[in-house]
């Protein structure tokens, strides 16, 4: 993120008029949301190809419908609502506000709170999904697994089911 911002300032003469701390907070929240989405995608995907397709399916709407290239108000109302559920929409508001306008953190509280809420929700969902589907169950010495019929194990990245007699 630092390299991209520095390149934008040096190569394209993009001004940075606001607080570095406010921008860093917004960037960290945005990266936390995208990290959670990445973990969620990897936990629901069974193959690498599926993960790549899901990543592209989440990336393209963010680029096209977040207000990065086209303003949200110029989009059809039937499509505009999608932009308001995308984390990039709120990071763009923060980045433009801080860098171009020098907007203080008090004026950017709503996009920051929305990003923080998205981060908590997405990261919680991804953690729960990861624990349920991918994390191996630990059984202590002398204990029986909770499911006597079958025990799911993860071996070499592929799910195998071992029947128990």
Q: Is residue 114 included in any domain, yes or no? A: yes
Q: Is residue 40 included in any domain, yes or no? A: yes
Cβ 87 vs Cβ 115: under 8 Å? yes
| Total domains present in the chain | 1
Over the stretch 113-152, which tens digit does the pLDDT of each residue have? 999 999 999 999 988 988 887 666 666 655 555 554 444 4
Q: Is residue 144 included in any domain, yes or no? A: no
Q: What is the DSSP letter of 47?
A: S
Alpha-carbon separation of residue 122 from 11, 33, 107, 116 (angstroms)? 35, 6, 25, 10
The pair phi, psi for residue 17, each rounded to 5°, is -100, -10
- Which helix (DSSP H) or strand (DSSP E) does residue 152 occupy? strand 150-155
Q: Is residue 6 included in any domain, yes or no? A: no
Over the stretch 43-92, which tens digit does the pLDDT of each residue have? 888 899 999 999 999 999 999 999 888 898 899 998 899 999 999 999 99
What's the pLDDT at 133?
75
Q: Is residue 74 included in any domain, yes or no? A: yes
Q: Is residue 9 included in any domain, yes or no? A: no
Q: Give the structural domain span for 92.
A: 16-136+149-163
Q: pTM for this one?
A: 0.76
Token code pair at residue 29: 């929240």
Q: Is residue 1 included in any domain, yes or no? A: no
Q: Is residue 111 included in any domain, yes or no? A: yes
Over the stretch 11-55, which tens digit does the pLDDT of each residue have? 999 889 999 999 999 999 999 999 999 999 988 888 999 999 999
Q: Partners of 153 in the beta sheet?
A: 160
């Amino acid at each position: 993120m630092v390299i991209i911002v520095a390149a934008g300032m040096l190569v394209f003469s993009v001004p940075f008029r606001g607080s570095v701390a406010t921008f860093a907070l917004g960037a960290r929240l945005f990266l936390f949301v995208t990290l959670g989405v990445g973990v969620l995608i990897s936990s629901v995907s069974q193959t690498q190809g599926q993960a790549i397709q899901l990543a592209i399916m989440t990336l393209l709407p963010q680029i096209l419908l977040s207000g990065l290239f086209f303003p949200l108000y110029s989009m059809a109302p039937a499509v505009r609502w999608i932009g308001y559920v995308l984390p990039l929409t709120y990071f763009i508001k923060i980045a433009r506000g801080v860098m171009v306008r020098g907007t203080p953190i008090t004026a950017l509280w709503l996009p920051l709170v929305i990003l923080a809420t998205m981060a908590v929700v997405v990261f919680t969902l991804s953690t729960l999904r990861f624990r349920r589907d991918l994390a191996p169950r630990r059984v202590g010495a002398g204990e029986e697994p909770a499911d006597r019929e079958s025990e799911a194990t993860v071996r070499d990245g592929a799910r195998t089911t071992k029947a128990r007699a």
